[in-house]
Chain A
Amino acid sequence: MVTPSTLLWSMFILLAVGADAAFVIVVRSKLATNPSALLLSMFLLVAAQTVLVFLGVVLSTRFPTEDQTGIHRHGYAARSAWFIFVALFMLAAFVTTIPFFPYLSNVAAAQGPALRVPVIAQQFTFLMPSHFPLEQRIIFEVTSRDVNHNFGIYNSKGELIAQTQAMPNYVNDLEVTFQQPGRYTVQCLEYCGIGHARMEKEFTVGGN
């Protein structure tokens, strides 16, 4: 039986699915560059939807009813719809993100040989070269001399484009291909002591 509340719930769910699907599509196309603005808008959109739902439920208490069975029937139906939606959405999101995991080196290997660059993080600096070629697949081999650090690469616009942990006794690989020439900054993104906020290194790409 199609009641007003079922209709309302279905409309809302369709709207939410539609908007979120649109975002997933847009995000996929923009993931090569920094998606920070998109991530923020995605978050704000869904957060706003949530607040609206909660507000709606609060406002419904202006029209109280004693009919529990009706509420339960429609409520459980809506819940089943929501459960299916959220479970499927999450599974779809999981599958969508897999190709973008930065671990699939066999796919990337097809792009040509990689330049292996050691990076040693230590209190409070990164030991690494200060210049890199453009459009060259680079694998940063990142380790640490003392405590945990994090090798975070920012472009000249201040966008964080890639990062990996720098652990003592271990080497983490980070694969990056610089598409834009210019100045880049590395900052430490894992608290490592008093100089943590000042631990940075600059390098340039291309040009010269």
Chain B
Amino acid sequence: MKAGDSITRMASVGMGVVGTVIMVGGIAATLHPLGMASIPVHHLLHAGMTLGAGMLAIALAAKLPSQRSERSVWVIPAILAPILGLFLMWPSEYAYLMEHHGLHMLDHVGIIAFSWLAVFAAQAYVRGLGWPMLVLMVSMNAAAAGGFGVAPGPSALLSLPLSTVTAEGPAPSLHVLGKRVAQNMGCGACHRVDGTRSIGPTWRNLAGYPQKLSDGTTVVANYQFLRDAILHPELLQLEGFPHGEMPATYGAMLSGPAHSDERELNAIIWYINSLSDRSTPASQPPVPDELGK
């Protein structure tokens, strides 16, 4: 029995020492001018520090007298410490914070402290919960490497021109092109052309007609209005239509550096004009309707 006891005690002390070494290493790493590791590697290093902190916590918690009842109060830090530790991973996303050695070290100390607290609290609450908590904390930190602060960029397919993706030939005029683009981009999902209201207002008799805004004012749907409604729908609030329902993606798809001639945008607005009996040069695009070669 004695040999078993002293082995346990040695294991405990050993664990504590190894854990402390890892933790100190984690703090020291912030001072060494290693250069910023990538975010996933950074998360894995945090997981390593958590391992060290957890090992020390279990070693120290071995000193607590064993009892059969719960130390209920310890559940609270056991639940809160992991959350706070996770929030401390957030500063890793900002290079300027990480380059400041003092702040970086503070961040690591914080992560270590919360990891230590989480494992200690679990073991203090009920003996035997420390190891599972340690494994979970380390896994959670490691799992963060999979996607917290890091993501693959948008697919290259997104930068293909619309006409390539839809594999369509040239259109005879702008408003016909506009009808095609509108169909392809799914405008009809919310804007009917038969005069009935859907999720969005109908396009029939839209151009050139007055539109009521939610603040009570009225504005005529001229070219600028139509442009803004398509490119920046989040800035428009029509009466009777809930705010924010129109996707904000069309701005990037129809204007900006890749679409400097705004051909498709003007095509759509020509199409909208073709559906209205009050279409005037004020509501029409400055580009003529016929498509040149």
Contacts and interface: CB of A to CB of B under 8 A. Distances in A.
B190 A118 contact: no
A46 B247 CA distance: 45
B155 A127 contact: no
A128 interface: yes
A123 B249 contact: yes
Interface string A145-179: 11000000000000000000000111100000000
B76 interface: no
Given A169-B155, A171-B155, A127 B185 contact: yes
B247 A146 contact: yes
A122 B247 contact: yes
B245 interface: yes
A175 B206 CA distance: 42
B232 to A, nearest CB: 16
A145 B158 contact: yes
Contacts of B249: 122-123, 145-146
Contacts of A145: 154, 158, 249, 253
Contact of A143 (B151, B158, B184, B185): B158
A198 B199 contact: yes
Interface string B243-272: 001010100010000000000000000000
Given A120-B165, A127-B165, A127-B166, A169 B154 contact: yes
Nearest to A195: B189
A169 B151 contact: yes
Taking residues whose C-beta sits less than 8 angstroms from the other chain, chain B's interface range is 20 to 34
Contacts of B186: 122-126, 195, 199, 201
A25 interface: no
Interface string B120-160: 00000000000000000000000000000001111101101
Contacts of A120: 157-158, 160, 165
B167 interface: yes
B153 A141 contact: no
Contacts of A125: 184-187, 189
A29 B161 CA distance: 42
A170 B199 CA distance: 29
Given A145-B158, A169-B152, A128 B189 contact: no
Interface in A76-110: none
Interface string A173-202: 000000000000000000001110011110
Interface string B202-216: 000000000000000
Considering the complex of A and B, which 9 residue pairs feature the smallest CB-CB distances, nearest first?
A125-B186, A129-B167, A123-B247, A198-B189, A143-B155, A124-B189, A118-B157, A127-B165, A169-B152
Interface of A: 118-120, 122-131, 141, 143, 145-146, 168-171, 193-195, 198-201
Given A143-B154, A195-B199, 14 more contacts: A120-B157, A122-B186, A124-B190, A125-B189, A143-B155, A145-B158, A145-B253, A146-B247, A169-B154, A170-B155, A193-B247, A198-B189, A199-B189, A200-B189
